[in-house]
Amino acid sequence: MHSSNPYSNQPERAFWSKAAAAQHITNITGLFDGIPDLASLRIATAGSCFARHIGKFLKSRGLQYLDYEPAPPFLSAAEAEQYGYGVFSCRYGNIYTARQLRQLFDEAFGRRLPQDAVWKKQGRYYDALRPSAEPRGFVSLEELTVLRSVHLSHVRTMFMNLDLFVFTLGLTEAWISNRDGTVYPVAPGVVAGEFQPEACRFHNFRYSEVHADMVYFIEVLRTVNPTARVLLTVSPVSLAATATDQHVLVATTYSKSVLRSVAGDLASDIPGVFYFPSYEIITGAPGRHMFYNPDLRTVCEAGVATVMQHFFAGSRSPESQLATSLVPETLRGFENCEEAHLDLTK
């Protein structure tokens, strides 16, 4: 006997009136089906500013979180985070775009050598691909080069050994070197360096470009790590500023829409690629914008905790029974996102 309509046999979570409108955001269930065998996986993270929260929660829950560039013992916890230690699985800083991720992998495995990746400021040298990793810059170009080589060796080891790579897509807008196409995490002149219109250009990546970059990355990752799985999220943090001629609200909607579409299609089309809806949890109507700080951009501690509660609830592992509504103390640390500097330039 056929159903009266194609929705008759859909579960309750498929209906807005029951699964969203009738539920308080903290009572909504079924948003994420989880990652099988999460507790047994070696997990690495990368991405935009919001991604750092995910890593902190994973560590606080005792999972096998990979940290290939731990802080030296003489630094305090606050100092370590200020210098980019323990924020992600390697000390690459914020990776806002898919093209940055693609170029990082290629550089780590000798597929490309950036020709325009050093900035200067007040006599110090800055790694343009992770300018906030050394807030005061390097003493010499030689020091920068040696330490970047060491960093890349850790990145290479990470990609070869991880079981699950959690990547948070953050932006579509980027500044690109005209010399060799190197994509920067922030425009020259914001953190260090000097903005020269003839040396770099603004680019707003479109769906086809972001999708192609992510497909490329997943394919090359599996050439060195055939069983690697990828978990994609989209940052719910709005753009601090836009270089387009649009209102920042419109520009933010464009960027997040592109990234969300790419992440969804990759998860649907490629085995071993998953999507976790942190973006929907924070920005969705049931949240009534309660998870944003007064700046209406950054996510408050309760919002991060709610996101991670859904992450663990679907994991089908012992960690899902933990009291994930509690915020780890490490979440209250230093925030060092290059993009935040854009709000200070006006």
Determine, yes or no, domain membership for 28: no
Determine, yes or no, domain membership for 213: yes
Residue 150 pLDDT:
97
Domain count, the chain: 1
Determine, yes or no, domain membership for 24: no
- pLDDT tens per residue across all 346 residues of the chain: 566 899 999 999 999 999 999 988 888 999 999 898 999 999 999 998 888 888 888 888 889 999 999 999 999 988 998 898 999 999 999 999 999 999 999 999 999 999 999 999 999 999 999 998 899 999 999 999 999 999 999 999 999 999 999 999 999 999 999 999 999 999 999 999 999 999 999 999 999 999 999 999 999 999 999 999 999 999 999 999 999 999 999 999 999 999 999 999 999 999 999 999 999 999 999 998 899 999 999 999 999 999 998 888 866 544 444 434 444 444 444 455 777 667 655 5
Determine, yes or no, domain membership for 49: yes
Which domain, by its residues, includes 295?
35-104+152-171+205-344
Q: What is the CATH number of the domain that holds 295?
A: 3.40.50.1110
pTM (two decimals): 0.90
Residue 221 pLDDT:
98
Contact 289, 296 (CB under 8 A): yes
Determine, yes or no, domain membership for 21: no
